[in-house]
Structures are given as structure tokens and as C-alpha cells.
């Protein structure tokens, strides 16, 4: 498996069930792993841009994931519109791979405020 730091996934708060035990399979807003073929992930430096572009005004939970525990392939794939390569997980997220799941507050500017939620530099 590829040696990478923790990866992150933004989950809609209304869809996140902290008591669930089955693997997490939501890929992105309105699409599952089955629909998309992979689960969208981000590095810490990419999270704010993803939140701004796709989750503005929505209540989200940030999932911090240990890629060594996912058991499926993580590939970095170029997203031309973003000018960056994003990690994609080609399988479900086992619950034991989720290091933390934290609701993300909004800052005074109305954007998601990840201060203190991302241990890696953004």
C-alpha cells in the first residue's frame, strides 16, 4: 500500500451515523461508492478547497482516515479543473480506519472552519 499521510473525507452531517458498524460507502454528495466507483478523499491541504467548492453552507463532518487500514487501493488521480491530484479510494472505508469524525463549524465568514481539525498543514 502507498505510504501517505492521513486522508480526509467530508461527510454530510445528516448522513453520518457515528454508531454504524458497517463500512462507509458514500463517495460524494448524492453518490455512493457503487455509483462513482471510488470514494473521494483529500489531503489536508485540499480539504478547504473541496469544502468551498462543493459543501458551502452544508453541515459536514470531517473523517480523518488512516490509509494503512482501508484495505483497498488508494490512487492519486489528476483533476484537471483543480490542477491537482486527489486521492481516490477504490473500496469502502472500514470503520476502524476512521481515526476521527468531527463536525466542522462555520467561521465568521460563513466558510467551514477547519482550525484545529487538520493536524497536517493545509
Q: What is the CATH number of the domain that holds 69?
A: 3.20.170.20
Collapsed DSSP state (helix, strand, coil) of residue 56 = coil
Q: Determine the structural domain holding residue 44 and report its residue range.
A: 7-103
Place of cell 487501493: 73
Place of cell 454508531: 19
Q: Is the pTM of this model over 0.75?
A: yes
In a domain, 113, yes or no: no
In a domain, 122, yes or no: no
Measured distance CA(51)–CA(20) in Å, rounded: 24
pLDDT tens, N- to C-terminus, the chain (122 residues): 445 679 999 999 999 999 999 999 999 999 999 999 999 999 999 999 999 999 999 999 999 999 999 999 999 999 888 889 999 999 999 999 999 999 999 999 999 999 989 865 54
* CA distances for 122 relative to 8, 47, 99, 108, angstroms: 12, 8, 18, 19
Amino acid at each position: 500500500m502507498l505510504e501517505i499521510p492521513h486522508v480526509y473525507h467530508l461527510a454530510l452531517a445528516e448522513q453520518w451515523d457515528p454508531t454504524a458498524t458497517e463500512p462507509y460507502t458514500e463517495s460524494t454528495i448524492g453518490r455512493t461508492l457503487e455509483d462513482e466507483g471510488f470514494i473521494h478523499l483529500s489531503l489536508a491541504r485540499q480539504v478547504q478547497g473541496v469544502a468551498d467548492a462543493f459543501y458551502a453552507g452544508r453541515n459536514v463532518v470531517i473523517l480523518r482516515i488512516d490509509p494503512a487500514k482501508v484495505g483497498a487501493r488508494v490512487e492519486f488521480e489528476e483533476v484537471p479543473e483543480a490542477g491537482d491530484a486527489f486521492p481516490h479510494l477504490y473500496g469502502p472505508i472500514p470503520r476502524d480506519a476512521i481515526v476521527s469524525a468531527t463536525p466542522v463549524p462555520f467561521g465568521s465568514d460563513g466558510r467551514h472552519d477547519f482550525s484545529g481539525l487538520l493536524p497536517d498543514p493545509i
